[in-house]
Amino acid sequence: MRIVFMGTPDYALECLRAVYNNPNANIVGVLTQPDKPKGRGMKMIPPPVKVFAEEKGIPVYQPVTLKDGVFSEELEKLDPELIIVAAYGKILPKYVLDYPKYGCVNAHASILPRHRGAAPINRAIMEGDTKTGVCAMFMDVGLDTGDIIFTSETAITEEDDVGTLHDRLALMAGEAMSRIVDMAVAGPLPRTPQSEDGMTYAAKITKADCVIDFSRPPREILCLIRGLSPMPCAMAKTPDGKLLKITSAHLVNGECSAPFGTVLSTDNGEITVSCGGGKLAFTGVIPEGKSRMSAADYIRGRKLSAGDVLL
């Protein structure tokens, strides 16, 4: 089956790898975002999907836009029967959606219609969900509103953060897209229209999302920390105005009446802080201008003390 793959980051890479390894798939082209400058030297870095595709000899296309039919000539030359999309980063215009015989299929990292949008993995943890998954779905002109082909689910554990959940969902997405290829070869793909019941929107993460509100209950703050780790990270400010990112934490038993954000203890290499109705212990941090470190190392170097207030 002639397939065009569209995707950009590591999540998409796992999908591309799985489809490439499927003997029923003939990937005739890969579309990905343009290279971007990164690091202090602002060196142009290719997306992970591009690196893999070039290693396998698959033609790579990096159009700045797909609007106004600018890719229509190339699309006709590639002549895909199926387009597989995973975290591509661009909205597909109608001429692309309508081209392949078997449609454009997306691997969305949530149980739709919950968490439509750009940041479903982050939002699932931040909102305290106990499960999520990957939806194999047809794409349409709406935002993650297309018919569902099938859904694979996984539990969100108390130990999960965005890093661990992302990696698990990426592998599931790869398995789902490889399965889609086999299903399409066997016959028409099934369609189940989405219900609007339970629909939520997983908006892109902003800086405002990352600021810890210590008046919130400890479990909500813990979900925020897990839902933003390993990056961009939840953050607070130390008494001297320095930024302190929190990478890991755990709940502490017991109620607390101290002012919100008060450092209650720095014993046992943890920073225990008062929150709305309880306590939370930070175990991993990134101080402003520094690298990731344990809370214990931060305490020894920064002299954060009981009674200090984080803002």
Q: Options 3.40.50.1970, 3.30.420.40, 3.40.50.170, 3.40.470.10; which CATH number does 2-201 get?
A: 3.40.50.170
Going through the chain in order, the beta strands assigned E by DSSP cover 2-7, 26-31, 36-38, 43-45, 60-61, 82-86, 104-108, 116-117, 131-138, 148-155, 201-202, 234-237, 243-252, 263-265, 271-275, 278-287, 293-294
Q: Say if residue 125's pLDDT is above 90.
A: yes
Q: Quickly state the pLDDT bin for 216 (edges 50, 70, 90).
A: very high
3-state SS class at 11: helix
Q: Say if residue 104's pLDDT is above 90.
A: yes
Closest listed residue to residue 1, CA positions, set 101, 99, 82: 82
**Beta strands 278-287; 293-294: pairing state:** antiparallel
Residue 200 has a pLDDT of: 97
Average pLDDT over residues 190-211: 96
Q: Say if residue 303's pLDDT is above 80.
A: no
- Cα 19 to chain center, whole Å? 20
Q: Quickly state the pLDDT bin for 277 (edges 50, 70, 90).
A: confident
Rg of the chain's alpha carbons, rounded to an integer?
A: 22
Q: Say if residue 40's pLDDT is above 90.
A: no
Start-end of CATH 3.10.25.10 domains in the chain: 207-302
- H/E element, 219: helix 218-227
Q: Say if residue 207's pLDDT is above 80.
A: yes
**Beta strands 82-86; 104-108: pairing state:** parallel
CA 201 to CA 98: how far, in whole Å?
Answer: 25
Q: Quickly state the pLDDT bin for 39 (edges 50, 70, 90).
A: confident
Q: Quickly state the pLDDT bin for 84 (edges 50, 70, 90).
A: very high
Closest listed residue to residue 89, CA positions, set 213, 170, 6, 183: 6
Burial class (CB in 10 A: 0-12, 13-18, 19+), 156: buried
Q: Quickly state the pLDDT bin for 41 (edges 50, 70, 90).
A: confident
DSSP string, 144-156: S-SPEEEEEEEE-
Start-end of CATH 3.40.50.170 domains in the chain: 2-201
Residue 304 has a pLDDT of: 86
CA 48 to CA 91: how far, in whole Å?
Answer: 20
* pTM of the shown model: 0.95
Residue 237 has a pLDDT of: 96
CA 153 to CA 113: how far, in whole Å?
Answer: 14
Is residue 216 within 8 A of residue 235, CB to CB? The reply is: no
Residue 301 has a pLDDT of: 84
What are 141-185's pLDDT values in tens digits?
Answer: 999 999 999 999 999 999 999 999 999 999 999 999 999 999 999
Average pLDDT over residues 90-109: 96
Q: Quickly state the pLDDT bin for 111 (edges 50, 70, 90).
A: very high
| Non-local CB neighbours of 234 within 8 Å, separated by 6+ positions | 210, 211, 212, 221, 224, 225, 228, 245, 246
Q: CA torsion angle for 31, 33, 34, 35 (degrees, to 10)?
A: -110
* Topology annotation, domain 207-302: Methionyl-tRNA Fmet Formyltransferase; Chain A, domain 2 (3.10.25)
Average pLDDT over residues 78-89: 97
In one-letter notation, the amino acid at residue 231 is M
